[in-house]
Amino acid sequence: MNKQINQKAWLLVLPVVVLVAFNAVIPLMTVVNYSVQETFGDNVFFWEGVGWFEQVLQSPRFHDALLRQMLFTGLVLVIEVPLGLIIALAMPRKGFWVSVCLVLMALPLLIPWNVVGAMWNIFALPEIGLLGKGLNNLGFDYNYTRQPVTAWFTTVLMDVWHWTSLVVLLCYAGLVSIPDDYYRAAKIDGASAWAVFRYIQLPKLKRVLTIAILLRFMDSFMIYTEVKVLTGGGPGNATTFLSIDLDKMALGQFDLGPAAAMSLIYFLIILLFSWLFYTLMMRNEAQ
């Protein structure tokens, strides 16, 4: 039987295409236009060529922000993915506690990002915050508003608190979808808990784990609101990640040309990694 080719379905996606055109494509085109010009306001522009790209790519400021961003994303992935997997494995599969655990896990995800930043800002304050005051009373020298290391510690801890649940929920969904027959077969063969994890659960979780890593990578690479509220990129530039740096450049200094160039470079980095993850995911699936 010949497969019918019906192109009318394209009409149904037209509203989305129009929506995306107005909220993504046209602003992106404008950013491209800004990136090759200099403006002092009043909608007057001067041609600059690729000068801004050259300036951004060769500036130590951009290199540092990129390095901090990669370190942050790396740390977040290294902590959140295994932790999320462990929590998902430890969660009950049947009974009353399932809903309790799921609701508890979903709670951090429901809180607006700026509220998360504000909560942690107060929670970690060395004079009055429970975490800050507590750590200082225990004898640690903790002040995230002044020490880069503790600012990093607080930022990473906040992200882990906020987003590990996402990994947990994805892994849990993957785990409950494994048919019981696999576990029965493993039991008959006398497989150890480790063998069950290694040869049944982990391969079955490959897909959700890839999605979890992709989501966490993109979100943490674009992190802005929480850090902006928690540390504002400080102390000094210690937690100035790419988006915070971009914000300082575009809105703080009103350097629209360099900021546009940096946005495009930032966009290309995200695009490359997203494509890589997507390709890997599709390849795994095909296999």
Partner 1 sequence: MEGTSLIAWMAWTWQTAIFFVFVASCLIAMTIWELRVPGGGPRRGILGLDTTRGDRLFITLLGSAYIFLAWLGIMGTPLWAPFGISLVYGFAVFRWA
CB of 276 to partner 1, least distance (A): 10
Report 9-28 residues binding partner 1 (CB under 8 A).
26
Interface with partner 1 (CB under 8 A), residue from 21, 54, 140, 185: 54
Contact predicate 201/175, CB 8 Å: yes
C-beta closer to partner 1: residue 31 or 83? 31
User: Counting contacts by CB under 8 A, is residue 30 touching partner 1?
Assistant: yes
CA 133 to chain CA centroid, Å, is 29
Q: For residue 162, which of 209, 206, 223 has the smallest C-alpha distance?
A: 223
Query: What is the 3 state secondary structure string of 177-230?
Result: CCCHHHHHHHHHCCCCHHHHHHHHHHHHHHHHHHHHHHHHHHHHHCCCHHHHHH
Instruction: Determine which helix (DSSP H) or strand (DSSP E) holds 167, and give its type and residue range.
Output: helix 148-176
User: Counting contacts by CB under 8 A, is residue 266 touching partner 1?
Assistant: no
**Entry field: residues in the chain:** 287
**Widest distance between CA atoms in the chain:** 77
CA 43 to chain CA centroid, Å, is 35
Return the SS3 of 46: strand
CB of 284 to partner 1, least distance (A): 12
CA distances, 35 to each of 26, 47, 168, 256 (Å): 14, 10, 40, 8
C-beta closer to partner 1: residue 42 or 181? 42
C-beta closer to partner 1: residue 52 or 217? 52
User: Counting contacts by CB under 8 A, is residue 53 touching partner 1?
Assistant: yes
User: Facing residues of 47 across strands?
Assistant: 37
User: Counting contacts by CB under 8 A, is residue 39 touching partner 1?
Assistant: yes
CB of 47 to partner 1, least distance (A): 7
User: Counting contacts by CB under 8 A, is residue 43 touching partner 1?
Assistant: yes
CB of 16 to partner 1, least distance (A): 17
CA angle 132, 136, 140 (to 5 degrees): 115
φ, ψ for residue 189, nearest 5 deg: -80, -5
Interface with partner 1 (CB under 8 A), residue from 3, 57, 85, 174: 57
User: Counting contacts by CB under 8 A, is residue 49 touching partner 1?
Assistant: yes
For tokens 């992106």, the residue is: 28
**Which window, 70-78, 184-192, 213-221, 271-279, contacts partner 1 (CB under 8 A)?**
271-279
**Which window, 41-49, 99-107, 147-155, 226-234, contacts partner 1 (CB under 8 A)?**
41-49
Interface with partner 1 (CB under 8 A), residue from 4, 58, 137, 192: 58
User: Counting contacts by CB under 8 A, is residue 272 touching partner 1?
Assistant: yes
User: Counting contacts by CB under 8 A, is residue 265 touching partner 1?
Assistant: yes
Q: Which residues bind partner 1 (CB under 8 A)?
A: 5, 26, 29-30, 32-34, 36-37, 39, 43, 45, 47, 49-50, 53-54, 57-58, 265, 268, 271-272, 275, 279, 282-283, 286
